[in-house]
Structure 1
Amino acid sequence: MNKPTKRSLKMRFQTKINHGDHTDSYEFTTRGELFHKGNQDYLRFQETLSETESVQTTMKWDGRELMLIRQGSVLMRQGFIVGEETLGRYVTPDASWETTAITDKLLVQWPSGKSRGRIQLTYKFALQGQDTGTHQVRLTLEEDTINE
Structure 2
Amino acid sequence: MKKALKRFVKIRFQTKVEQHDHTDTNDFTTRGEIFHKGSQDYLRFEEAIPGFEKVQTTMKWDGHELMLIRQGTVLMRQAFVAGERTLGRYVTQEASWETEAITEKVLVQWPRGKTRGRIEICYQFLLQGQETGRHYVRLTLEEE
* Residue matched to 1:118: 118
For 1:89 and 1:51, locate their aligned partners in 2 and report how far apart those are by CA, in whole Å: 19
**Structure 1 unpaired stretches of 5+:** none
Contact 2:122 2:137 in 1 (8 A): yes
* Residue matched to 2:141: 141
Alignment of 1:70-85 (within 5 A): 70-85=70-85
- Secondary structure of the 1:63 match is coil
TM-score for both structures, normalised by structure 1: 0.94
* Residue matched to 1:94: 94
Query: What amino acid sits opposite 1:10 in the alignment?
Result: K
* Residue matched to 2:68: 68
Residue 115 of structure 1 and its aligned partner are, at CA, apart by: 1.4
**Structure 2 unpaired stretches of 5+:** none
Which runs of at least 4 in structure 1 moved beyond 2 Å after TM superposition? 48-52
Pair 86,140 (structure 1): closer, same or farther in 2 beyond 3 Å: same
Q: Deviation string for 1:35-58 (max 9, x for gaps)?
A: 000000000001134697110000
Q: Deviation string for 1:8-63 (max 9, x for gaps)?
A: 00000000001011110001000000000000000000113469711000000000
- Secondary structure of the 1:64 match is coil
Identical residues among aligned pairs (%)? 69
* Residue matched to 1:131: 131
Pair 87,18 (structure 1): closer, same or farther in 2 beyond 3 Å: same
Pair 127,51 (structure 1): closer, same or farther in 2 beyond 3 Å: closer
Query: What amino acid sits opposite 1:135 in the alignment?
Result: H
Residue 99 of structure 1 and its aligned partner are, at CA, apart by: 0.2
For 1:57 and 1:21, locate their aligned partners in 2 and report how far apart those are by CA, in whole Å: 29
Q: Is residue 2:66 matched to residue 1:30?
A: no
For 2:104 and 2:87, locate their aligned partners in 1 and report how far apart those are by CA, in whole Å: 15
Pair 113,75 (structure 1): closer, same or farther in 2 beyond 3 Å: same
